[in-house]
Chain A
Amino acid sequence: MTTADPRTTDLRFPDAVVHFGVFFQGVNHSTIWSDPRSGSQMAHSTFVQLVRTAERGLFDAFFLGEGLRLREQRGKVHDLDVVGRPDALTELATLAGLTTHIGLVATQNTTYNDPADLARRLASLDVLSGGRAAWNVVTTDNAWTGANFRRGGYLDHADRYERAERFVRTAQRVWDSWDGERFNPVRVQDGFFDVEFTPTVRRSPQEHPVLFQAGDSPAGRDFAARTADVVFSRHGTDHADALAFADDVRRRTLAAGRPDGDVLVLPGTQIVVADTATEVEEKARWVLEQQVTPATALSLVGQVWGEDLSHLDPDGPLPAHDPVITDIDGTRGAHRAGADARALAQQWRAVAEENKFSLRDLVLHHSSERGFAGTASQLADELTHWVRTGACDGFNVTPYLVPGGLDEIVDQLVPALQDRGAYPTEYVGTTLREHLRLRAPLTRR
């Protein structure tokens, strides 16, 4: 037990425990692929090792990301980051067959799916996993992604949460269809959907898949406050920022007529564990430099400048000229992006000049504030402080290496948290809803 920390005096949630999820993104530059310990991003064995490590560490959830079009620059697929991943629900069904407790969260898009089909696939996973399925609800508003779909096309930005909310309402009716005697038909005519069908999947042990939501805009936050069980936030680095976000979610949840604490907050983050202060610093630096390779630094700067800068010297200065405002792909509000880019470029140049940073130094500098690094003991104190001050309910960790990147968390950090009484010592239930201590689904109260 740590009692010396003066911060413990203002703990709003003195009994709170840390919830962990693992986020397998599959597309990003935070996953190191150049190290010999880095495994395949697609091999079945990679997923099995990761999910079993997470389950051994009593993680609540295994998250899969999804994108429906590969990122491109100037007509060619972005080639510097890990890319290529399985269909989330299909992979999770396989993992359901190999695990017993951990929750299985699929990121799925409301813009390019049909509610009848997606709700049914989610319900099927929920039944097959014994009540461990969850849906991370995301939306897309660009025709560029829609080009992969026969029913693609542009959805107005303002409409996308409206559609998402209608979509979720329809899905909830699918999950409530079986009344004990028959499947009741779902008939919806709400301006977004005009459908009629009869569902075929009975209720799972947790009744509905758990709903995650990740939108950060005011509209996204209100959508979460009205609809979601868990917010998967970006606020996982700075405590004050995280606390402000969590308080905002609490406020919006109450305003939506739901009880306090009805929506959990799990920020995405990265955690680096090492044995001594020196090792922590060295390891965090190593992780960062592997993530931001010279080519990646040039690419990230190139994205701000809106041009291919791969010919520049990463150890040289930032470009001297301002970003050129061009219509990059014709669908993404390139003008605003251009104006923002010019301000950002000026800011970056000022920081670089002040610190005598090279181009890559600058990118490393701006990437270094990502998550936590420390000894297991330090991290256990820090994460406990986060959840007990109400900054969040836990963390959705992106391992910087797969499949071995969770080992240090499970083997070192989890026991340290358990020593502090801030982490479960066993799974108390079998469903994800039980792990997260959630109330019944909104339509079943």
Chain B
Amino acid sequence: MTTPLHVFLDVDGGGWHPAAWRRSRSTPDEVHSPSRLRGFAVTAQAQGLTGLTFEDPPATDPRNPVGHLDAVQRAAFLAGTTDAIGLLPVAATTYSEPFHVAAQIASLDHSSAGRAGWIATTSPPAVARGVDLPVAADPATELADVVDTVRALWDSWEDDAVIRDVATGRYVDRDRLHHVDVDTGRWSVKGPLTVPRSPQGHAVVVVHEDDLGNRPDVPDVVLTGNPGARRSPGSPLVVLDVEFALDTTAHPAADRLAALDASAPAPDAGNSRVRWAGSGEAFARYLTDLSRTVDGVRLHAAVLDEDLPALVRTTLPALRLARLLRAPLPGTTLRTTLGLPRPANRFAPQPTPVGGAAL
């Protein structure tokens, strides 16, 4: 039995290339249209992808007429019209309120019946001016503290806190609701959260290696731009971040990229993502090779309107044939799809094991 490759697709705007919107079939006004977003979700779910990710770059070219919608809002918009695919928005940590982030992602987990993930990111220093805060000295530590706080808030309601006990008139058992009393030394959060514990307990927490600092235990999934990264049991899942451009029926990938660069040159790929261009069949072989070393890939299309159809036509059938693409079942949680356990609640009494041998 082969190990499946989890394929995530990012659906931000026109695509990863800064000139992508010029090649989109949509006018700039339509790039973020609800129907277009829904179309990507329908395609991705029908193709058996594990999840959609929603990037949210903090700063953009003010002359780029497409702009960006809030990632959590876009993910939530799709929660009611999809039933199998994971929904993983970015929510930044450096200057945001952990209480708000915890409530937003928990709500997404409720409305998607357990398909929420959270890509926790750091923000560049320029964002500090937007919120009237000093520049964070150590964004990686800040991220770890925020994730810890959010996870504590996700545990602040025990799963069975709502009791609806008519005899005593009590809707909740107040002993199953908890102050979290987080205190990082720089700030504190009291709790409990205003949102009850969600279907997955904790949404799947994803952090890019670049943002991770010295706390590898923080995420459930690590995004990496290192093609040599390898999965290892007991560690977070490893997902390679890949920007891709494919040959279309009309133009080879290299020509397409050259034409895009002529409109707006793409920045260097850097070390945060791998950049790949070529035929869809060759891309399938590349991903098949990767399936031996990583748990998944996150794909960023150069131009979503062009590269997603090419991916569907030429790459995904080969992965499916190789049994590498295993479609999530409707009604299953993202944790189940990824083989991640549902976290125990730190505040709940630990269940007594009943019979059976310990693993």
* Contact (Cβ within 8 A) A87 B98: no
* Contact (Cβ within 8 A) A93 B73: yes
* Contact (Cβ within 8 A) B194 A85: yes
Q: Is B88 an interface residue (CB 8 A)?
A: no
Q: How far is the CA of A200 from the CA of B173 in the complex (A)?
A: 44
Please encode chain A, from 333 to 349, with 1 for each CB lying within 8 Å of some chain B CB and 0 for all others: 00000000000000000
Residues in B whose Cβ lies below 8 Å from that of A82: 171
Q: Is B238 an interface residue (CB 8 A)?
A: no
B130, chain A: closest CB distance, angstroms: 3
Contact with B79, one of A77, A89, A97, A124 (Cβ below 8 angstroms): A97
Residues in B whose Cβ lies below 8 Å from that of A155: none
A432, chain B: closest CB distance, angstroms: 15
Contact with B62, one of A47, A70, A78, A182 (Cβ below 8 angstroms): A182
Q: How many residues of A contact B (CB 8 A)?
A: 73
Q: How far is the CA of A252 from the CA of B169 in the complex (A)?
A: 44
* Contact (Cβ within 8 A) B169 A86: no
Residues in A whose Cβ lies below 8 Å from that of B104: 87, 89-90
Q: Is B191 an interface residue (CB 8 A)?
A: yes
* Contact (Cβ within 8 A) A91 B111: yes
Which chain B residue shows the least CB distance to A44?
A: B111
Q: Is B347 an interface residue (CB 8 A)?
A: no
Q: How far is the CA of A47 from the CA of B80 in the complex (A)?
A: 11
Please encode chain A, from 111 to 140, with 1 for each CB lying within 8 Å of some chain B CB and 0 for all others: 011101100110111011110000000000
A302, chain B: closest CB distance, angstroms: 13
Q: How far is the CA of A181 from the CA of B64 in the complex (A)?
A: 9
Residues in B whose Cβ lies below 8 Å from that of A296: 169
* Contact (Cβ within 8 A) A150 B188: yes
Contact with A77, one of B37, B81, B129, B192 (Cβ below 8 angstroms): B192
Residues in A whose Cβ lies below 8 Å from that of B174: 76-79
A242, chain B: closest CB distance, angstroms: 31
Residues in B whose Cβ lies below 8 Å from that of A95: 80
Q: Is B107 an interface residue (CB 8 A)?
A: yes
Q: How far is the CA of A116 from the CA of B80 in the complex (A)?
A: 27
Q: Is A34 an interface residue (CB 8 A)?
A: yes
Name the segment of A190-198, A270-278, A320-328 touching the other chain.
Answer: A190-198
* Contact (Cβ within 8 A) A79 B171: yes
Please encode chain A, from 42 to 55, with 1 for each CB lying within 8 Å of some chain B CB and 0 for all others: 11100110000000
Please encode chain B, from 95 to 131, with 1 for each CB lying within 8 Å of some chain A CB and 0 for all others: 1111110011011101111000000000000010111
A153, chain B: closest CB distance, angstroms: 11
* Contact (Cβ within 8 A) A120 B70: yes
* Contact (Cβ within 8 A) A84 B162: yes
Q: How far is the CA of A304 from the CA of B95 in the complex (A)?
A: 40
B14, chain A: closest CB distance, angstroms: 14
If A97-B34, A149-B97 touch, whether A295 touches B110 (CB-CB below 8 Å) is no
Please encode chain B, from 204 to 228, with 1 for each CB lying within 8 Å of some chain A CB and 0 for all others: 0000000000000000000000000
A72, chain B: closest CB distance, angstroms: 9
* Contact (Cβ within 8 A) B68 A67: no
Q: Is B63 an interface residue (CB 8 A)?
A: yes
Please encode chain A, from 170 to 201, with 1 for each CB lying within 8 Å of some chain B CB and 0 for all others: 00000000100111110000000111111111
Q: How far is the CA of A44 from the CA of B78 in the complex (A)?
A: 13
Contact with A128, one of B63, B74, B161, B195 (Cβ below 8 angstroms): B74
Q: How far is the CA of A82 from the CA of B169 in the complex (A)?
A: 11
Residues in A whose Cβ lies below 8 Å from that of B95: 114
* Contact (Cβ within 8 A) A69 B190: yes
* Contact (Cβ within 8 A) B132 A195: yes
Contact with B130, one of A44, A80, A130, A195 (Cβ below 8 angstroms): A195
Interface residues of A (CB under 8 A from B): 33-34, 41-44, 47-48, 66-70, 76-87, 89-91, 93-98, 112-114, 116-117, 120-121, 123-125, 127-130, 147-151, 178, 181-185, 193-202, 293-296
List 8 A–B pairs whose Cβ atoms lie within 8 Å, in order of A's numbering: A34-B169, A84-B162, A86-B110, A91-B76, A97-B77, A150-B187, A151-B187, A181-B65
